[in-house]
């Protein structure tokens, strides 16, 4: 049985997402150090993705099996990103090609 979610929850999440978009936009005009800027931007992006998945994709109110599949998808994406970055970051090490 699906949970009945009040509209104000959706409007609140939407307002938070808009605020995070504005925060990201404002961050682009601040000249922080490069690693700090990237860290803050990625943190904001992860929070936005979590809000979308949890509320607009209804994962927050789903069964444990849905959580298992979402976790498996996130783990698989992390695995693929780690493999891709390990290839990309080690290309300069091999010489003589």
Q: How do the domains of the chain map onto residue ranges?
A: 1-62, 63-97
pLDDT tens digit string along 5-59? 899 999 999 999 999 999 999 998 888 887 888 889 999 999 999 999 999 999 9
The percent of the chain in helix, strand and coil, each rounded to the nearest 5, is 75, 0, 25
pLDDT at 93 over 80: no
Task: Give the tens place of pLDDT for each residue, 56-80.
Answer: 999 999 999 999 999 999 999 999 9
Count of Cβ atoms closer than 10 Å to residue 43 Cβ: 10
CB 36 within 8 A of CB 82: no
Measured distance CA(94)–CA(91) in Å, rounded: 6
């Amino acid at each position: 049985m699906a949970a009945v979610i009040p509209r104000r929850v959706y409007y609140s999440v939407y307002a938070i997402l808009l605020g995070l978009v504005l925060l990201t936009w404002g961050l682009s005009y601040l000249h922080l150090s490069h690693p700090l800027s990237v860290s803050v931007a990625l943190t904001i992006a992860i929070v936005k993705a979590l809000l979308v998945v949890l509320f607009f994709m209804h994962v927050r109110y789903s069964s444990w099996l849905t959580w298992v599949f979402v976790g498996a998808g996130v783990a698989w994406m992390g695995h693929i990103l780690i493999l891709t970055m390990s290839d990309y970051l080690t290309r300069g090490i091999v010489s003589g090609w």
